[in-house]
């Protein structure tokens, strides 16, 4: 079940060859200009007028401006961004090309050469690759991602970034080994919203079977005995993911940066109170909210 960075083929086959360097830069510039202009327009123009403006989007797609593009965000972080998807759209329209900077600030604080990071719910690898750069070649990043669509892009991004210190594990993180159904987010503008709960993903979402495994079992197979930090964003299944990492949490007490959405937790039949209670049971004493839906937990 384990998959490493030997997925270089994905970058050149599944997602197509890259265009010449100058063409690519011009296209990225045009795409960003269009998307940022649309954001400004949406803020300034009444809804009725916006509807006519939206008709430009299909035209832009036909002429090739709105399409996935490869972007080098920093040295060692090259990713394929789809402007129709939430995370990619936010990066492309951000003046600093970032996504949830408060999460990265908390996750990266204290990391250094040789650190070990778990990215639970890696999506297309934004935090995975940034962590890989931060921990260096002596460090290690384990990226857990069960969504087949996101997994394909994640593999391609890791290959394109030459991130030899990243290991991809294509499973859902759970409290026990099992087969689960993962539901694609619907409407399909936020691939990161895929969830093990249909209620969270949307009632019209389509399900696919995925393998669920405890983090402790995977780390045992990989020979990883110490973890410095972990990011957990699994659309409501956060408690189950942490329960499957109980041995790791008790042994290493890694910093945890975790998404906490009461409605999403409810969709998986858990609560914020149960999540925080479990963290305290395994020795986490300091929790602070760092963003609209994100928390940092540490043990003293």
Whether residue 197 contacts residue 172, with contact meaning beta carbons closer than 8 Å, is answered with: no
**CB-based contacts of 65: which residues, under 8 Å, 6+ apart?**
27, 30, 31, 34
Per-residue confidence (pLDDT) for residue 103, from 0 to 100: 98
Please, which contacts does 78-81 make with residues 24 or more away whose CB atoms are closer than 8 Å?
78/129, 78/157, 78/160, 78/161, 79/124, 79/125, 79/126, 79/129, 79/153, 79/157, 79/160, 79/161, 80/15, 80/124, 80/153, 80/156, 80/157, 80/160
Per-residue confidence (pLDDT) for residue 63, from 0 to 100: 64
Per-residue pLDDT of the chain (300 residues; tens, 9 = 90+): 555 443 333 343 334 445 566 656 655 666 666 566 655 545 554 545 444 444 555 556 566 667 888 999 999 999 999 888 889 888 888 888 899 999 999 999 989 999 999 999 999 999 999 999 999 999 999 999 999 999 999 999 999 999 999 999 999 999 999 999 999 986 567 889 999 999 999 888 899 999 999 999 999 999 999 999 999 999 999 999 999 999 999 999 999 999 999 999 999 999 999 999 999 999 999 999 999 999 999 997
Q: Where are the domains of the chain?
A: 8-93, 101-298
Is the Cα dihedral 218, 168, 249, 226 positive or negative? positive
Say how many C-beta atoms besides its own lie within 10 A of residue 105's C-beta: 13
Entry pTM: 0.84
CA max distance for the chain: 58
Say how many C-beta atoms besides its own lie within 10 A of residue 77's C-beta: 21
The correct CATH number of 101-298 out of 1.10.10.10, 3.30.70.100, 3.40.50.150, 3.30.2320.50 is 3.40.50.150
Whether residue 141 contacts residue 119, with contact meaning beta carbons closer than 8 Å, is answered with: yes
Calpha distance 25→6 (Å, rounded): 27
């Amino acid at each position: 079940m384990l998959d490493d960075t030997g997925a270089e083929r994905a970058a050149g086959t599944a997602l197509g060859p890259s265009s010449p360097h100058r063409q690519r830069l011009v296209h990225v510039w045009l795409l960003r200009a269009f998307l940022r202009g649309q954001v400004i327009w949406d803020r300034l123009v009444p809804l009725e007028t916006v509807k006519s403006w939206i008709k430009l989007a299909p035209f832009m797609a036909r002429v090739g401006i709105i399409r996935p593009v490869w972007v080098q965000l920093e040295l060692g972080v090259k990713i394929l961004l789809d402007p129709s998807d939430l995370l990619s759209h936010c990066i492309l329209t951000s003046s600093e090309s970032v996504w949830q900077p408060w999460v990265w600030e908390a996750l990266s604080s204290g990391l250094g050469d040789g650190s070990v990071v778990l990215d639970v719910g890696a999506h297309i690898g934004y935090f995975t690759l940034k962590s890989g750069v931060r921990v260096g070649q002596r460090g290690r990043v384990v990226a857990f991602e069960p969504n087949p669509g996101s997994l394909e892009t994640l593999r391609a991004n890791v290959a394109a970034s030459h991130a030899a210190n990243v290991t991809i594990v294509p499973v859902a993180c759970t409290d026990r080994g099992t087969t689960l159904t993962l539901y694609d987010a619907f409407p399909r503008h936020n691939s990161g919203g895929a969830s093990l709960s249909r209620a969270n993903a949307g009632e019209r979402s389509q399900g696919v079977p995925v393998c669920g495994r405890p983090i402790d079992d995977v780390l045992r197979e990989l020979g990883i005995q110490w973890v410095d930090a972990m990011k957990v964003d699994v659309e409501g299944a956060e408690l189950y993911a942490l329960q499957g990492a109980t041995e790791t949490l008790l042994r290493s007490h890694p910093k945890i940066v975790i998404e906490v959405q009461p409605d999403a937790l409810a969709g998986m039949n858990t609560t914020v109170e149960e999540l925080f209670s479990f963290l305290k049971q395994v020795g986490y004493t300091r929790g602070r909210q760092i963003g609209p839906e994100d928390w940092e937990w540490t043990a003293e």
